[in-house]
Amino acid sequence: MNGLTERMRRELEALRGEGNERTLPRVTHEGRYVIGEEGRMLNLSSNDYLGLASDIRLQEEFLNGLTPADRLFSSSSSRLLTGNFSACAELEELLASMYGTESALVFSSGYHANAGILPAICDGETLILADKLVHASLIDGIRLSRTRCVRYRHNDTDQLKRLVEENHARYRQVIIVTESIFSMDGDEAELPEIVTLKRKYDNLLLYLDEAHAFGVRGERGLGCAEQWGCVADIDLLVGTFGKAAASQGAFVACSHVMRDYLVNKARTLIFTTALPPLNLRWTRFVVERLPGYRRRRKRLDDACSTLWYALEDKGYDCPSSSHIIPIITGDSESAIRLAERLRRGGFYVLPVRPPTVPAGTSRVRISLTADVTQEDIARLISVL
């Protein structure tokens, strides 16, 4: 056996020993349920926040309205060659008009957007200030940008202010990078304060990842920036289609110049096959309807409140103010055990362990969807 295989085997064994080995779960889906080893379980690990991905009637309505030109399963090329189908331009126009921005640009995924935008726009005179807990795709974007970056303590807006004050005059531009709702803790950036800070300096840019808020927050479901009335202050507003929008892909809402520049410089846009027209049509079909899903957003909100208060009653210290609700157990073993207990009780949840979260903060991560009823939550609480 060669050295590499030997080393990989040893490392995997070590991960297994710590309870941190990752495997690909084998599950089948049945609407809002998942069928696994433990039987039929309510899916509490999905990002289908509005319950649209499991809505068969919605899919049928979409399929029935399709023309042959829309029914293409591949774009067969990068957008810069022959892959730029009208389905993409129409989706971008829709997004720009919904956000009231000059333009929008679609990427193949949130990962592509976040890994590609910062490397494209940063230069030697840029400083990035990023929240300590931003998503791996943003961290990869920061790394690829090879730009000086300071990570501020999670949601510590005072530290962020100090960093801006100390550094803004020394750089041509300072880019603040944060998520609106954070993936692992389910807590939120203090957007109004960050926006106030941004308005004080003319070389400050805001990059906001709304992956978990797109579809879920705001009167029309555009995200936290809509909720706080500050869309116009966000220079790069990234949303993803793989979560509440029940599709695949991502976008950035931005200025004309920014879009033109990204088309020229963002390698994750240029050197990859464009999304299939069929998929882009479906995304547009859903995005058009997002403003109308107020009842689903309200149901989700109500489910969240019920679960937060119940967890508080049970003595759990829960940082969440959203539909992403972690139950932090500390070590990986107890997270694994709690997840197993919940699965046996009929709830599909998974443990989240290092390196996804810092050591000592292993957890069971619940993500609620609009399909979860008050009865489901009552039963979940009884199993806890």
Residue 339's Cβ-count burial label (10 Å; 0-12, 13-18, 19+) is buried
In the chain the beta strands, taken as DSSP E runs, fall at 28-30, 33-36, 39-43, 103-107, 126-131, 148-152, 173-179, 204-209, 236-240, 250-254, 324-330, 347-348, 350-352, 362-367
Q: Which residue type does 74 have?
A: S
Q: Between residues 210 and 371, which has the closer beta carbon with respect to ligand PLP? A: 210
Phi, psi of 125, deg, nearest 5: -110, 25
**Is the Cβ of residue 182 or residue 348 nearer to ligand PLP in the bound state?**
182
Q: Does 212 bind ligand PLP (CB under 6 A)?
A: yes
Which residue in 43, 45, 46, 47 is the catalytic one? 47
Active-site annotation holder among 112, 154, 198, 212: 212
Q: Which of 243, 279, 322, 362 is catalytic?
A: 243
Catalytic (active site) residue 264: no
User: Shortest Cβ contact with ligand PLP: which residue?
Assistant: 110
Give the shortest CB-107-to-ligand PLP separation in angstroms.
8
Task: Assess 215 for contact with ligand PLP (CB under 6 A).
Answer: no
Range list of H helices, 231-373:
256-265, 267-270, 277-289, 294-313, 332-344
256 given a catalytic annotation: no
Q: Which candidate in 180, 183, 332, 367 is catalytic?
A: 183
Task: Answer yes or no whether residue 268 interacts with ligand PLP by CB under 6 A.
Answer: no
Report the alpha-carbon distance of residue 336 to residue 363 in Å, rounded: 8
Q: Does 223 bind ligand PLP (CB under 6 A)?
A: no
CA triplet 102, 142, 101: central angle to 5 degrees? 10
109 is a contact residue toward ligand PLP (CB under 6 A):
yes
Q: How many residues bind ligand PLP (CB under 6 A)?
A: 14
**Known catalytic residue: 168?**
no
Residues 234-253 that bind ligand PLP (CB under 6 A): 240, 242, 250
Q: Can residue 111 be called a binding residue for ligand PLP (CB under 6 A)?
A: yes
Q: From the list 48, 55, 209, 233, which residue makes contact with ligand PLP (rule: CB under 6 A)? A: 209
Amino acid at 108: S
For this structure, is 179 an active site residue?
yes
Task: Give whichever of 175 and 377 is closer to ligand PLP, judged by the CB atom.
Answer: 175
User: Quick one: 241 or 347, whose CB is closer to ligand PLP?
Assistant: 241
Name the pairing type of β-strands 39-43 and 33-36: antiparallel
323 in catalytic set: no
47 is annotated as an active-site residue: yes
The total of other beta-carbon atoms located within 10 Å of residue 317's CB is: 8
In sequence order, the 6+-apart residues with CB closer than 8 A to the CB of 236 are: 117, 205, 206, 207, 208, 252, 253, 254, 258
- 335 with 352: CB under 8 angstroms? yes
Measured from the CB atom, the residue of 315 and 355 that comes closer to ligand PLP is 355
**190 and 156 Cβ atoms separated by less than 8 Å:** no
135 is catalytic: yes
Q: Note the residues at the interface with ligand PLP (CB under 6 A).
A: 109-111, 114, 135, 137, 179, 183, 209, 211-212, 240, 242, 250
* Catalytic positions: 47, 135, 179, 183, 209, 212, 243
